Structure 1
Amino acid sequence: MKRCVQHYGYRYDYRACAVTEDAFLGELPGWLQELAATIWSTARFEEVPDQVIINEYEPGQGISAHVDCVPCFSETIASLSLLSACTMNFEERSSGERLNTVLAPRSLLVLKGPSRYLWTHSIPARKSGMIDGQRVARSRRLSLTFRKVIRS
């Protein structure tokens, strides 16, 4: 990956597409525990998230289309966007239907049910994007993704 990533709670293995018991990094730091508890009640997680990945995106960086690891994480995924806005693309895997949404600074994206399992999500690697009909230059963006690890 070309972006900076920080893992809390559990390390996600991108190559193996897995989270194993030996990937446990320790409890979330206090500031993330507070945020996880707030997001748990807001996003209606089944349990308080115990894994957070912080991604830093510089202008021109994105993330390819994917569905978060199904056997690794519970039904609800929530991602808090900070700093710069960007457009996230969604595609329904069986029909090819496409939708886009703007991730504004301080917005919370919640994936649950069909949006979690049946739709891919991605952010194109661009230095600018169209937001409300205007071309907007991207600047540094952070995303904090909250998930509950499924332990086997």
Structure 2
Amino acid sequence: MSADVSLIAGCEEGLRIPGLTLNHDWIGKAEEGQLLEHVDGGRWRNDLKRRVQHYGFRYDYRARFVSPADYLGPLPGWLADLAGHLVDNGLFSKVPDQVIVNEYLTGQGISAHIDCVPCFGDTIAILSLGCPVVMTFQCAASGARCEMVLPACSLLGLSGSARYDWLHGIPARKSDTINDMKTQRLRRVSLTFRSIIIGA
């Protein structure tokens, strides 16, 4: 795994989002395939329009709440290894204890949002598997916007202003424009790592 993480410039000239990082090759293609096998061997939930899996703690989307009763057990080994690497690479100060797996099929997205502030810690990390996708960012205060391509095997990090001041989302559509080319969306799976704040 490469530890090379760089700050990404936004789409508006001179716009930079403090705390936003993207590592294009955080894992290799072989490991990507192994992770997808683990994901596909897990139990899917259908709480949302897209399929999800919860590990460590269940997150209540409606109540926007996490309690000790939502504890599901320690992360399985394949996720615990990744969580440990996040600490080794300096993205987290301690091992994250919650992971949500999201599956996005053609046409599916996620509304622009800021991850629950009282529920989760200072850093969010999102590992992308499968099809690349365009993620949008919007400043809650100024309305400034930008877009970024999240390639397969990349790791997105959100901390500081990127974590607390900017909404991130994926528009629900069947294609994206990537490198000036219309690109059909196929299946994408994301692994979102977070640290739980109990009693939020």
Distance 2:114 2:54 in 1: 18
Percent of pairs identical after alignment? 55
Corresponding position of 2:110: 63
The amino acid across from 1:103 in the alignment is L
Structure 1 SS opposite 2:79: helix
The structural deviation recorded for 1:43 is 4.8
Residue in structure 1 matching 2:72, options 8, 11, 25: 25
The structural deviation recorded for 1:46 is 2.2
The structural deviation recorded for 1:81 is 0.2
Corresponding position of 1:86: 133
Distance 2:99 2:75 in 1: 8
The structural deviation recorded for 1:80 is 0.1
The amino acid across from 2:147 in the alignment is N
TM-score (norm 1): 0.98
Structure 1 SS opposite 2:89: helix
Distance 2:112 2:66 in 1: 20
Distance 2:73 2:186 in 1: 32
The structural deviation recorded for 1:16 is 0.3
Q: Is the 8 A contact 1:43 1:110 kept in 2?
A: no
Distance 2:117 2:90 in 1: 18
Q: Is the 8 A contact 2:91 2:157 kept in 1?
A: no
Residue in structure 1 matching 2:151, options 100, 104, 109: 104
Distance 2:78 2:154 in 1: 18
The structural deviation recorded for 1:151 is 2.1
Distance 2:62 2:94 in 1: 27
The structural deviation recorded for 1:44 is 2.0
What are the residue-to-residue correspondences of 1:3-152 with 2, within 5 Å?
3-152=50-199
TM-score (norm 2): 0.75
Q: Is the 8 A contact 2:110 2:172 kept in 1?
A: yes
Higher Cα radius of gyration: 2
